[in-house]
Amino acid sequence: MSWLGRLSRQVSGYAVGVIGRQVIVFVAIPLFTHGMTQAEYGIVALTASLVAFTNTVSNLGLPAATFRYYNEYESEAERQEVLGAGCLLAAGYALLAALVLTVLREPLQKRLLHSAPPGLVFLLAAFIVVEGTAQYGYVILRAQTRYAVYSSIVIGHAIVQVSIAAVLVYRYKLGVVGYWLGYLCGSFVAVMALVVMTRESISLGGIHGKVVRLTRFGVPLVLSALSLWSLGLVDRWLLSVIQGPSTVASYEVAYKIGALVGFVMVPFRVAWPQFGFGSMKERDARHLYATAATILACAAGCVALVVVGTSPLIGEILAPASYGSVDGIVAWVALGQVAWVLFPVLSIGIKIEERPQLVSLAALVAATCNVALNVLLIPRMGAEGAAIATTVGYGVLAVGVTYGSIVVYSIQIEWSKVCAALGITSALVALLTVSAGEVSTGWSIVLRTVTVVIGVLLLGTLLMSRVREVRVGREV
């Protein structure tokens, strides 16, 4: 089977669980936007960013390190030791993060979560421990490419979380506390299932050397992870400080629509680390990575056009009219997501050469640009300024890691094809934004539909031509 066939098989295997989870979470948004006040939903967005920040810090680059060294070793015993070392580190990191969050609960409650229910930080700390454990269980399943088991548990995880949270929010009117209590219960159920399915895949004997290697590779990625967190979530904090929780709620809904680009492409992101590192010993690995980047740019562009084209309708479904228009924000977020989707492929060369500090440097520069633009644009443009800042940040990140992979690994990017895909996507997204109007306006619907169809045909043609070249062996 060709590398494209293997990658397609893994992506399709993960797609059931990953997209299924995203659909469940996405469909549940109206339950929470209508079941809570706009200010309460804003607090949910802020606490979600806090949880994401804490999880980002607490994993210390462990997933990337696990994939890197799991594929370096060939004996099953050594691979089990890598996973055992990873489990030990994951549990320790999560407990430490929860402890720090608990110690800092008073300043967090006063300065960031001043309108949140008392004691919410303790609930968030418990969720961080349980969810962190669950996430490393998923890393184990991905390393072993057990995508059927992965998908089953991921979907069950989401169903239990959303169901319990919806009951507590709607039936018992527990608001933010009910939301996070439901998510905690769902994560606990997932951990139990993951323990059953992975308990024979790990070994805790002779793991000292593996612990050292995982730590040395992962710790430099903490700066990268923090920078990536700021790219995706610091805008909510700044919006809250400058314009209040209600603006955060409106921005969160629009951001979730634009982030559908990333959601649809998540199966690829889930499959890529194991596939990418698993292919690093192949003779044509550099060509493989370059071709994957071209195909991914075309696919992500198609998804972005569909998302932006349908965003007015989706916005009306997801939230009340008081949340405002989403068009401009969605367009910028969708473009940023295209760059974000390309990031794992473009950075693979740096990680293969064990130079994670270069990823951190690129992410730090991107995050600095993002924060500076947020501070500059939010007072003038509000939520749309935050979306622009995020898109620029992701663009800088993609350029930075591409340059690093070229320098240390000599990855051979297909510049003409990638730039053509990105150019078509950007031009047509701009046209869709200009033509934005009321969903009921007939001419607006016709223009947006025609624009999306033309874009998908152009990008689809470019994508399929590249796939055919791969299949006939012209380059790989």
* Domain closes at, from 166, 192, 219: 219
In this predicted structure, the answer to whether residue 346 has a pLDDT above a threshold of 70 is yes
Whether 30 and 159 share a structural domain: yes
Q: What is the pLDDT of residue 472?
A: 59
Q: Looking at the domain assignment, is residue 4 inside a domain?
A: no
Q: Looking at the domain assignment, is residue 49 inside a domain?
A: yes
Q: Looking at the domain assignment, is residue 140 inside a domain?
A: yes
Q: Looking at the domain assignment, is residue 343 inside a domain?
A: yes
Whether 255 and 176 share a structural domain: no
Whether 59 and 204 share a structural domain: yes
CA angle 83, 89, 90 (to 5 degrees): 85
By residue range, what is the domain housing residue 244? 221-476
How far is the C-alpha of 65 from the C-alpha of 52, rounded, in Å?
A: 19
Q: What is the pLDDT of residue 438?
A: 47
pLDDT tens for residues 114-156?
667 778 899 999 999 999 999 999 999 999 999 999 999 999 9
Whether 312 and 196 share a structural domain: no
Q: Hey, is 415 helix, strand or coil?
A: helix
- DSSP H or E run through 445: helix 442-471
For residue 323, which of 405, 398, 399, 249 has the smallest C-alpha distance?
A: 249
* Domain closes at, from 155, 186, 219: 219
Residue matched to tokens 């499959």: 271
Q: Looking at the domain assignment, is residue 50 inside a domain?
A: yes
In this predicted structure, the answer to whether residue 243 has a pLDDT above a threshold of 90 is no
Q: The tokens of 446 are what?
A: 């016709």
DSSP line for 275-323: HHHHTTTSTTHHHHHHHHHHHHHHHHHHHHHHHHHHHHHHHHHHS-GGG
Whether 61 and 142 share a structural domain: yes
Whether 38 and 71 share a structural domain: yes
DSSP line for 154-194: HHHHHHHHHHHHHIIIIIS--HHHHHHHHHHHHHHHHHHHH
* Domain closes at, from 169, 202, 219: 219
Provide the number of structural domains found in the chain.
2
Q: Looking at the domain assignment, is residue 5 inside a domain?
A: no
CA angle 422, 52, 59 (to 5 degrees): 100
Q: What is the pLDDT of residue 441?
A: 60
Whether 466 and 453 share a structural domain: yes
Confidence of residue 263 (pLDDT cuts 50, 70, 90): confident
Spacing of C-alpha 270 from chain mean position:
10
> What's phi and psi for 283, nearest 5 deg?
-65, -40
Whether 364 and 270 share a structural domain: yes
Highest mean pLDDT among 103-117, 156-170, 198-212, 442-456: 156-170
Q: The tokens of 83 are what?
A: 């996973």
Q: Looking at the domain assignment, is residue 27 inside a domain?
A: yes
Whether 287 and 195 share a structural domain: no
In this predicted structure, the answer to whether residue 228 has a pLDDT above a threshold of 80 is no
Side-chain-facing half-sphere of 443: CA atoms under 13 Å: 2
Whether 280 and 291 share a structural domain: yes
**Ramachandran area for residue 473 (φ above 0: left; ψ -120 to 50: alpha; else beta):** left
Whether 225 and 369 share a structural domain: yes
Whether 40 and 72 share a structural domain: yes
Q: The tokens of 401 are what?
A: 């890691």
Q: Looking at the domain assignment, is residue 1 inside a domain?
A: no
Average pLDDT over all residues of the chain? 87
Q: Hey, is 414 helix, strand or coil?
A: coil
Q: What is the pTM of this model?
A: 0.77
